């Protein structure tokens, strides 16, 4: 049967199991939109900005494990997608972005709203297509979904000129893929697995460093089994938060720049680091020469290019994490590390990184704790980037897997609003809390309208200190308190702003109001914005300055603590 | 070996640039297989760097096979076209040098000749050095291409 290019796009998306797309129409993509109107099974969410569309697709993808789909028109529509695409690329999120392009005859002529979006996104996509013939659409979509959500997931862009949407051709959805250069390794090499097993058997002070790969590969049970069987403490990266239960006796925190001090110190003392689905990011390692100085390293990752990229590995295993862990678990011998586990417990006692000081002030750390208490750690938390993100990562103890969504690699402020929108669409069964900074929130708050329009009950906790808090903190510590361009003195009244969108707004200024406000938000049948007007000048600790090591660790000091160790903040 | 698709060279060059690797020579042309091109490029770096380059190259979907031929038993050749200034008096001397280097004269005009030379990089460099005193007007080098001897390195 002959179909138009636009019909082929819609049919192909349905065959790939797509039920929702996020986007904004415009001239070049209009033929596709006009066709989508007769495909009610493809629900379209009309965002207010294309960055909202790409980040909503990201939130949808992370919360469901399915490919998130976003659409935009040529030129500015396409370029507005870019930050969301880059966010997905850095954090390995499966996404397909479809952009309209000027007609083929106008390509390369600097036509109205023409931009080379496949060129622009070259370094921030896993793959991209410029489809020049309608018969190439179906194979491109088939390949795009396969590439986006296999191996190390990532975004794929498909750019389609306007007249390709309207030309007709025979629609045949390919059954096979022709990708001779793309064959992700799934099973770990048995020889390497046995070498890893030997290192695990020999280790006296092992730690597991669990990353986003655990969540992507849904390797929660396999991780739990390995940790329990061989009695290995589990440390998670920022994107690995909620991959292992916080309440588990073997959980030993998050390491790195703003991780728990005991996690970083445990890595210092470890004689074996088992990196699982993570990439030894500089926020974790600090100075790589001083990272895990006493440890051999096992690195399991599906992306061969991650092996030896940042940290030299003793045993590399390439493969899908859940499968590799099953291979390891099959041969690993039960072990105990009583002395080592006691040592890790001692580090936790000596370095109470999660302790909150007694004060009447409304502290951001306490707000996260309150949120965790009222939600019972079972809500999805979507954060922005900065101080509030770190406090959320430290203090939100999720009780179920994959409840913590954050832009870790790219660090995209503004992620918290659209990604929460996308997560709520992906997981209507869950309460979604957007833990937002007042800075990031204002970058994407126009999506509140999208949230209202689609009756999404997203709850927002704005961590409002009137600062670009993390930058302010760096100015405080590293730039001689020269607080230039980090203070928002003209912030809107967020309660009135919420009301203007038709959303319930609540303001919290006192410590005692926090729990009630969160409870009220949870009970409210619809979206809520809670404006937490916080104690200003609060810094995130612990802190290891960029490129340094635990020798430069800064921690908060408590009066009743025996303080002798390094770098306490008074 | 890469699939013949639009933009492959751009992807490859972009990857190498943004990862901070340095290409000193690059050639690309059709291979013995339909729809596949063979690229030869020279990247300077230690073993860890080269391994990273190879791994990063494999992340490009159209890249089908990457071989580090540095330590292999390989034949490497480069072709150069050299335009040298001539006078009626030094022309015989230049012609003689061309013969010694088993290169060819492709064009003779009143005040210059174009020489074609094929060989490894050293040979091309030597000829250029020897011709230098006569006055080299233009040089066009293809960059190095290479194949492993004996065994088939196809896909």
Q: pLDDT of B10-66, one tens digit each?
A: 999 889 888 888 888 889 889 988 999 999 888 888 989 899 999 999 999 999 999
Enter the ipTM. Answer: 0.87
CB-nearest partner of B59 from A118, A128, A305: A305
- Is A130 in contact with B56 (Cβ distance < 8 A)? no
In a domain, A18, yes or no: yes
Is residue B141 located within the same domain as residue B81?
Answer: yes
In a domain, A355, yes or no: no
Is residue A145 located within the same domain as residue A27?
Answer: yes
Verify whether residue A470 is a known catalytic residue: yes
Spatial separation of the C-alpha atoms in residues A257 and A353, rounded to whole Å: 12
Q: For residue A307, which residues of chain B lie inside 8 Å, CB to CB?
A: 55
In a domain, A329, yes or no: yes
Give me the catalytic one of A113, A231, A513, A520: A113
CB-nearest partner of B10 from A122, A182, A309: A122
Range of the domain at B137: 74-145
Is residue B80 located within the same domain as residue B49?
Answer: no
Spatial separation of the C-alpha atoms in residues A555 and A381, rounded to whole Å: 26
Reply yes or no on whether the pLDDT at A569 is more than 60: no
- Is B61 in contact with A181 (Cβ distance < 8 A)? yes
Spatial separation of the C-alpha atoms in residues A5 and A164, rounded to whole Å: 6
Which residue, among B33, B55, B67, B154, would best test binding to A if mutated, counting the most A CBs under 10 Å from its CB?
B55
Is residue A207 located within the same domain as residue A311?
Answer: yes
Q: How confident is the model at residue A253 (pLDDT cuts 50, 70, 90)?
A: very high
What's the CATH number where A249 sits? Answer: 3.40.50.1220
Reply yes or no on whether the pLDDT at A564 is more than 50: no
Is residue A112 located within the same domain as residue A226?
Answer: no
Classify residue A560 by burial, with Cβ atoms within 10 Å: 0-12, 13-18, 19+.
Answer: exposed
Is residue A346 located within the same domain as residue A371?
Answer: no
Task: Please state the domain count of chain A.
Answer: 3
- For residue A559, the model assigns a pLDDT of 74
Listed residues A350, A385, A410: the one ending a domain: A350
CB-nearest partner of B155 from A119, A180, A309: A180
Is residue A215 located within the same domain as residue A307?
Answer: yes
Is residue A19 located within the same domain as residue A142?
Answer: yes
Instruction: Tell me how close the Cα of A244 comes to any Cα of chain B, in angstroms.
Output: 29
- For residue A25, the model assigns a pLDDT of 98
For the residues A283-310, what does the mean pLDDT come to? 96
In a domain, B51, yes or no: yes
Q: For residue A128, which residues of chain B lie inside 8 Å, CB to CB?
A: 7
Is residue A375 located within the same domain as residue A447?
Answer: yes
- Of A255-269, A554-568, B49-63, which gets the smallest average pLDDT? A554-568
Distances in whole angstroms, Cα of residue B110 to Cα of each of A129, A196, B86, B88, B95: 51, 72, 8, 8, 14
DSSP string, A211-229: -HHHHHTT-HHHHHHHHHH
Verify whether residue A162 is a known catalytic residue: yes
Is residue B49 located within the same domain as residue B97?
Answer: no
In a domain, A553, yes or no: no
Q: How confident is the model at residue A251 (pLDDT cuts 50, 70, 90)?
A: very high
- For residue B41, the model assigns a pLDDT of 86
In a domain, A35, yes or no: yes
For the residues A26-42, what does the mean pLDDT come to? 98
Is residue A374 located within the same domain as residue A485?
Answer: yes
Is residue A470 located within the same domain as residue A322?
Answer: no
Q: For residue B59, which residues of chain A lie inside 8 Å, CB to CB?
A: 126, 303, 305
- Is A123 in contact with B64 (Cβ distance < 8 A)? no
- For residue A561, the model assigns a pLDDT of 67
Spatial separation of the C-alpha atoms in residues A11 and A39, rounded to whole Å: 9
Is residue A213 located within the same domain as residue A287?
Answer: yes
Reply yes or no on whether the pLDDT at B152 is more than 80: no
Q: How confident is the model at residue A558 (pLDDT cuts 50, 70, 90)?
A: confident
Is residue B79 located within the same domain as residue B139?
Answer: yes
In a domain, B130, yes or no: yes
- For residue A557, the model assigns a pLDDT of 82
Q: For residue B6, which residues of chain A lie inside 8 Å, CB to CB?
A: 130
Is residue B34 located within the same domain as residue B85?
Answer: no
- Of A11-25, A122-136, A506-520, B59-73, which gets the smallest average pLDDT? B59-73
Give me the catalytic one of A7, A16, A36, A50: A50
In a domain, B151, yes or no: no
What's the CATH number where A101 sits? Answer: 3.40.50.970
In a domain, B69, yes or no: no
State how far Cα B102 lies from the chain centre: 18
Is residue A152 located within the same domain as residue A194?
Answer: no
Instruction: Tell me how close the Cα of A86 comes to any Cα of chain B, in angstroms.
Output: 14
- Of A173-187, A303-317, A456-470, B33-47, which gets the smallest average pLDDT? B33-47
Listed residues A328, A350, A372: the one ending a domain: A350
CB-nearest partner of B18 from A123, A305, A309: A123
CB-nearest partner of B11 from A122, A147, A309: A122
Is residue B134 located within the same domain as residue B78?
Answer: yes
Q: What percentage of chain A has pLDDT greater than the value 90?
A: 97
CB-nearest partner of A180 from B3, B7, B10: B3
Distances in whole angstroms, Cα of residue A400 to Cα of each of A228, A412, A432, A488, B77: 18, 25, 13, 36, 60
The pLDDT tens digits of the residues spanning A415-432 come to 999 999 999 999 999 999
Whole-number average pLDDT of chain A: 96
User: Is the backbone peptide bond immediately before A542 cis, with ω within 30 degrees of 0?
Assistant: yes
In a domain, A19, yes or no: yes
- For residue B71, the model assigns a pLDDT of 85
Reply yes or no on whether the pLDDT at B107 is more than 60: yes
Reply yes or no on whether the pLDDT at A367 is more than 60: yes
- Is A181 in contact with B62 (Cβ distance < 8 A)? yes
Verify whether residue A494 is a known catalytic residue: no
Which residue, among B14, B58, B63, would best test binding to A if mutated, counting the most A CBs under 10 Å from its CB?
B58
In a domain, A397, yes or no: yes
Is residue A254 located within the same domain as residue A315?
Answer: yes
Instruction: Tell me how close the Cα of B39 comes to any Cα of chain A, in angstroms.
Output: 15
Pairing of strands A2-4, A168-170: antiparallel
Q: For residue A182, which residues of chain B lie inside 8 Å, CB to CB?
A: 61
The torsion angles phi and psi of A5, rounded to 5 degrees, stand at -55, -40
Range of the domain at A432: 364-533
How many Cβ contacts (< 8 angstroms) between chains A and B? Answer: 44
Give me the catalytic one of A162, A296, A348, A459: A162
Verify whether residue A333 is a known catalytic residue: no
In a domain, B64, yes or no: no
In a domain, A372, yes or no: yes
Task: Please state the domain count of chain B.
Answer: 2
- For residue A518, the model assigns a pLDDT of 98
- Is A308 in contact with B48 (Cβ distance < 8 A)? yes
Q: How confident is the model at residue B154 (pLDDT cuts 50, 70, 90)?
A: confident
List, in sequence order, every residue forming a beta bridge with A157; answer none if it has no partner.
Answer: A97, A128
Q: For residue A308, which residues of chain B lie inside 8 Å, CB to CB?
A: 48, 51-52
- Is B15 in contact with A123 (Cβ distance < 8 A)? yes
Reply yes or no on whether the pLDDT at A239 is more than 50: yes
Verify whether residue A36 is a known catalytic residue: no
For the residues A431-459, what does the mean pLDDT come to? 98
Helix (H/G/I), strand (E/B), else coil: B62: coil
Q: How confident is the model at residue A562 (pLDDT cuts 50, 70, 90)?
A: low
Residues of A engaging B, defined by a Cβ cutoff of 8 Å:
118-119, 122-123, 126-128, 130, 147, 179-182, 303-305, 307-309
What's the CATH number where B120 sits? Answer: 3.30.70.1150
Is residue B14 located within the same domain as residue B44?
Answer: yes
């Amino acid at each position: 049967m002959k179909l138009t290019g636009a019909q082929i796009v819609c049919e192909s998306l349905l065959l790939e199991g797509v039920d929702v797309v996020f986007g904004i129409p415009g001239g070049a993509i209009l033929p596709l939109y006009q066709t989508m109107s007769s495909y009610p099974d493809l629900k379209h969410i009309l965002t207010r900005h294309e960055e909202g569309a790409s980040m909503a697709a990201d939130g949808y993808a992370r919360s469901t494990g399915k490919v998130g789909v976003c659409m935009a028109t040529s030129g500015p529509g396409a370029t507005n997608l870019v930050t969301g695409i880059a966010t997905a690329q850095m954090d390995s999120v499966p996404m397909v972005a479809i952009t309209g392009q000027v007609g083929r005859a106008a390509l390369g002529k600097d036509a109205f709203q023409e931009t080379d979006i496949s060129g622009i996104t070259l370094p921030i996509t896993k793959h991209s297509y410029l489809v020049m013939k309608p018969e190439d659409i179906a194979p491109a979509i088939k390949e795009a979904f396969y590439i986006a959500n296999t191996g190390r997931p990532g975004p794929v862009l498909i750019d389609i000129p306007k007249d390709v949407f309207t030309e007709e051709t025979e629609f045949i959805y390919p059954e096979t893929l022709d990708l001779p250069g793309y064959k992700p390794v799934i099973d770990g090499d048995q020889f390497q697995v046995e070498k890893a097993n030997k290192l695990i058997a020999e280790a006296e002070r092992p730690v597991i460093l669990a990353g986003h790969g655990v969540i992507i590969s849904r390797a929660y049970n396999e991780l739990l089994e390995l940790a329990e069987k061989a009695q290995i403490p589990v440390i998670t990266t920022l994107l690995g938060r909620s991959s292992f239960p916080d309440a588990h006796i073997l959980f030993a925190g998050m390491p790195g720049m703003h991780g728990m001090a005991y996690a970083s110190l445990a890595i210092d003392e470890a004689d074996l680091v088992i990196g699982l689905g993570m990439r030894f990011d500089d926020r974790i390692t600090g100075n790589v020469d001083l990272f895990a100085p006493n440890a051999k390293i096992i690195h399991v990752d599906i992306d061969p290019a991650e092996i030896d990229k940042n940290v030299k590995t003793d045993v590399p295993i390439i493969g899908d994490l859940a499968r590799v862990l099953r291979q390891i678990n099959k041969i690993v011998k039960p072990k105990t590390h009583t002395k080592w586990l006691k040592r890790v417990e001692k580090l936790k006692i000596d370095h109470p990184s999660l302790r909150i000081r007694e004060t009447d002030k409304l502290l951001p750390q306490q707000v996260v704790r309150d949120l965790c208490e009222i939600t019972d750690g079972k809500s999805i938390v979507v954060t922005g980037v900065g101080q509030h993100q770190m406090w959320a990562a430290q203090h939100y103890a999720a009780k179920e897997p994959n409840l913590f969504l954050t832009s870790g690699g790219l660090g995209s402020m503004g992620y918290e609003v659209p990604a929460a929108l996308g997560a709520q669409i992906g997981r209507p069964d869950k309460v979604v809390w957007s833990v937002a900074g007042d800075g990031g929130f204002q970058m994407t708050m126009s999506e509140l309208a999208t949230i209202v329009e689609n009756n999404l009950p997203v709850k927002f906790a704005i961590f409002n200190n009137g600062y670009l808090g993390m930058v302010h903190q760096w100015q405080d510590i590293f730039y001689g308190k020269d607080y230039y361009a980090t203070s928002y003195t003209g912030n809107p009244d967020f309660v009135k702003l919420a009301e203007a969108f038709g959303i319930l707004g609540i303001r919290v200024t006192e410590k005692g109001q926090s729990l009630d406000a969160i409870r009220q938000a949870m009970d409210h049948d619809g979206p809520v914005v809670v404006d937490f007007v916080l104690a200003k000048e609060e810094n995130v600790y612990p802190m290891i300055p960029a490129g340094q090591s635990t020798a430069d660790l800064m921690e908060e000091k408590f009066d009743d603590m025996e303080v002798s160790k390094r770098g306490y903040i008074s | 070996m890469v699939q013949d698709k639009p933009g492959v060279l751009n992807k490859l060059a972009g990857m190498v640039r943004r990862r901070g690797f340095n290409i000193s020579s690059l050639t690309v042309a059709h291979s013995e297989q339909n729809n596949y091109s063979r690229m030869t490029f020279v990247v300077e770096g230690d073993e860890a760097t080269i391994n990273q380059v190879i791994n990063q190259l494999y992340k490009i979907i159209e890249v089908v096979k990457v071989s580090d031929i540095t330590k292999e038993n390989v034949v490497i050749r480069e072709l150069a076209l050299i335009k040298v200034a001539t006078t009626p008096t030094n022309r015989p001397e230049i012609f003689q040098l061309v013969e010694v280097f088993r290169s060819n004269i492709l064009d003779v005009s009143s005040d210059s000749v174009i020489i074609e030379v094929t060989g490894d990089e050293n040979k091309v460099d030597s000829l250029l050095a020897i011709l230098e005193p006569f006055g080299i007007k233009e040089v066009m080098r293809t960059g190095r291409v290479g194949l492993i001897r004996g065994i088939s390195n196809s896909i």
